[in-house]
Structure 1
């Protein structure tokens, strides 16, 4: 199955330098706010779909890593100017195919020794202007208007988007601007659904028919040989496309239903038209039943396309298998694929679980039941003089000895966790917990006795 195998990001927004290994099928990006989950999806679009190819260069300032810019200002030299590098390694079927060979080569950027398939994006200062701008640069000016954006395959050829190796679609349910989100979805769907020949015929026919209809109106002229006409640059079919269901456009079906239907369409198209589906916060605006329906659609189509999604939903993270989670930290992506299968199944079946509360918290205290859950915050504030929230501590009730399963997740994600439990007056229980604590730094079990 064609899919994204690995991505290396250097200098883009939050990421100074990060490597991400993707699963072939489902990838659940989880992290705190501003951790860079959306930036990862954006990076994929930048490389595969040449996003930002035609932009005002000054926008590059918003894409650069802030620490890279600070490093430059500490020592303003041409060689220290901030830059962006995004490298995507691909796993492609039919590796002997002529179109596929176009992406095969040894990528010098990662000092590789073996041939791989992939695309490299670089945004950097154009050294042709080095002598001309040296003095301004050494005065601390970053000349973004003299930056160049290049896309190349691992073979060394310039990347032509018409030879795009993976068919992708992006669905962003996180933004409030429904129109821009839906327009992008419509264009992507149209682009992936039809052949280049069919799309060209449709666009030309649309433009010609608009001209014919307007000319048939025979509007009175403006005088002095002037008259109204249609600007062909504005009669672009892609800009007016929308999707209808039972004569109702999806934009008018309500935000939650719109999100659900867009996801269903994308997943259904993946059976023979799409390789990668990028999905931003699919839980937004969905009631419990529709979220379950969406999860069912995703599960049914996991063998058809690679899915890369971001979420803050406990249900999505657990129902789609915790082993598919990529925990996005500071310049680090931690896979939870080493979690024991039994632990993953436990959380998949547990409707009420706080697994993302665990992953998204700086510090966590696990307790066994509701009594401890209610009393501990009161005791903590009385003894410490501050609330648990002020100390960025989250408390999670595990319903008995399930804390062991939470600890397994915490170990994989390198989370700081304390467990408060009783020992039932049994020495062997005390001994086993002391044994657990011996080689642990971030996780500890506290018990009486």
Structure 2
């Protein structure tokens, strides 16, 4: 198990530290928040590879944090001699007997910490000191990675050339299922983990013998004919034979089939689901770390439900999962308490969420908790009519809609206000929560959710009982019956309050589109002022 991740100088991350959950990590964040970069960094330090190729073969100047590179170049131009930027990724691992070979204190932890771990540094190669010095005389925004090298070591300061056997990782990117001859690098690795060494050897031998028989069957007549052509320097006969080198090994020629259809011709959703199931299979017992990028891609709602059930049932106790997602359904179903929220190069982690609240949202996987997780500021309202009306009043007050100012107005649609506030409090989100008084003293309503509120951070706003029990009479109180009847087109003989209560959404739409000036109820005005700041 990975207990801590440190990333310095890699792409979006200047100086990043994260202590992941022991079992499940659901990584969420806005666009360009660094979700894929985090997964990439973990895989890089675990395997020394990226996209199936060694890191040294794939070195790219764009891997380096742009801000650090710009600062480095600026220092050179000021006449300073700064150190070249580096990339440093450290994985701190759980102290287990089988990982003692990786155990040491050669890491950046302060105070000194001796534990198993991996360190991957991409740094200037001292053998190219002269070339690097010449480059510094005329620097550019792109670092000369040709003069860099990859230093992959354990915390015991031993150089690593191949991934330690105990740290097998399965990597599934369902956004783009790359296939070569029907099987991409990661799938070949996953399938290989399902074969015991004797089975692999037997298949390899049988494949080699099969290729050898080609010389005495299909190629025999051809070799007899071209053997009479002396095209070589010493008039030696030419013949054709099957390539027996490692690059033509059996695992590059064998391709899985799904219902008699080649894997590469299956739908992308099917391909991703198969790879995830193979990686998680408890019987394999090999993949200690499973990384899945956006499992919801290419899947219908029903197929996604099936896949999530499969993930829940197949995950072994020895496995640590890292899953990135843009799906509220995935988030709720697998558990809100596993969230790692990325923003501005940092991670927020839920440390205190009642198991009952987690279970509550698991039973309501369609509710958009992801909006709450990603929003900068939140206004919680009871229903869609409150949402529509509040947005109108907010724009009247401040000249812009809430979303234009980074404020997300979210309807709870009958959900428990306490559950939503607990989730927001766990992520320390600024929240203005509004609700009807329903004829109850606001002080009494506040008591049940007091522990999730925080002065100046999360506040509750409730309409005065004297002004009406729900939104509609509150609006009438502050604007007068005559104004509302004219705006809504309600005759003098009709019961205004009854019509507005019965046609809540239609009332909200007409208010939102009204050209006349309207006064918001006091509690909505106060909520808008609070969340606007």
Task: Name the TM tier (shorter chain).
Answer: 0.7 to 0.9
Residue 447 (structure 1) aligned to one of 433, 440, 462? 462
1:161 and 2:149 are equivalent in the alignment:
no
Cα distance, 1:184–1:441 mapped onto 2, change above 3 Å: farther
Q: Deviation digits for residues 407-435 of structure 1, max 9, x if unmatched?
A: 22222223333222233452414765997
The CA RMSD over aligned residues, in Å, is: 3.0
Residue 42 (structure 1) aligned to one of 40, 43, 50? 40
Matches of 1:106 and 1:291, distance apart in 2: 43
Q: Which residue of 2 aligns with 1:224?
A: 231
* Contact persistence 2:215–2:240 (CA under 8 A): no
Residue 84 (structure 1) aligned to one of 84, 87, 99? 87
SS at match of 1:110: coil
Once the two structures are TM-superposed, the CA of residue 70 in structure 1 deviates from its matched residue by: 1.3
SS at match of 1:315: helix
Once the two structures are TM-superposed, the CA of residue 229 in structure 1 deviates from its matched residue by: 5.3
1:21 and 2:22 are equivalent in the alignment:
no
1:265 and 2:278 are equivalent in the alignment:
yes
1:309 and 2:320 are equivalent in the alignment:
no
**Larger relative contact order (Cα-Cα within 8 Å, sequence gap ≥ 6):** 1
Deviates more, 1:273-282 or 1:56-65: 56-65
Cα distance, 1:182–1:366 mapped onto 2, change above 3 Å: farther
User: Gaps spanning 5+ residues in structure 2: where?
Assistant: 233-237, 465-533
Residue 419 (structure 2) aligned to one of 395, 405, 410? 405
Matched residues, number = 443
* Contact persistence 2:379–2:408 (CA under 8 A): yes
Cα distance, 1:183–1:132 mapped onto 2, change above 3 Å: closer
SS at match of 1:377: helix
Q: Deviation digits for residues 88-120 of structure 1, max 9, x if unmatched?
A: 111254x1x5xx321111123224523201111
Once the two structures are TM-superposed, the CA of residue 133 in structure 1 deviates from its matched residue by: 2.8
1:244 and 2:257 are equivalent in the alignment:
yes
SS at match of 2:13: coil
1:210 and 2:221 are equivalent in the alignment:
no
Deviates more, 1:103-112 or 1:273-282: 103-112
Matches of 1:333 and 1:257, distance apart in 2: 32
Once the two structures are TM-superposed, the CA of residue 214 in structure 1 deviates from its matched residue by: 5.5
Cα distance, 1:410–1:215 mapped onto 2, change above 3 Å: farther
- For normalisation by structure 2, the TM-score amounts to 0.75
* Contact persistence 1:169–1:276 (CA under 8 A): yes
Q: Which residue of 1 aligns with 2:354?
A: 340
1:4 and 2:2 are equivalent in the alignment:
yes
Once the two structures are TM-superposed, the CA of residue 131 in structure 1 deviates from its matched residue by: 4.4
Matches of 1:243 and 1:116, distance apart in 2: 40
Q: Which residue of 1 aligns with 2:289?
A: 276
SS at match of 2:410: strand
Once the two structures are TM-superposed, the CA of residue 239 in structure 1 deviates from its matched residue by: 3.0
Which entry has the higher C-alpha Rg, 1 or 2?
Answer: 2
- For normalisation by structure 1, the TM-score amounts to 0.88
Q: Which residue of 2 aligns with 1:189?
A: 190
1:387 and 2:390 are equivalent in the alignment:
no
User: Gaps spanning 5+ residues in structure 1: where?
Assistant: none
SS at match of 2:14: coil
Cα distance, 1:241–1:348 mapped onto 2, change above 3 Å: same
Matches of 1:59 and 1:292, distance apart in 2: 39
Matches of 1:441 and 1:179, distance apart in 2: 56
Matches of 2:81 and 2:282, distance apart in 1: 47
Once the two structures are TM-superposed, the CA of residue 353 in structure 1 deviates from its matched residue by: 1.1
Q: Deviation digits for residues 377-432 of structure 1, max 9, x if unmatched?
A: 34444544433443333221113462332222222223333222233452414765
Q: Which residue of 1 aligns with 2:31?
A: 33
Cα distance, 1:89–1:436 mapped onto 2, change above 3 Å: closer
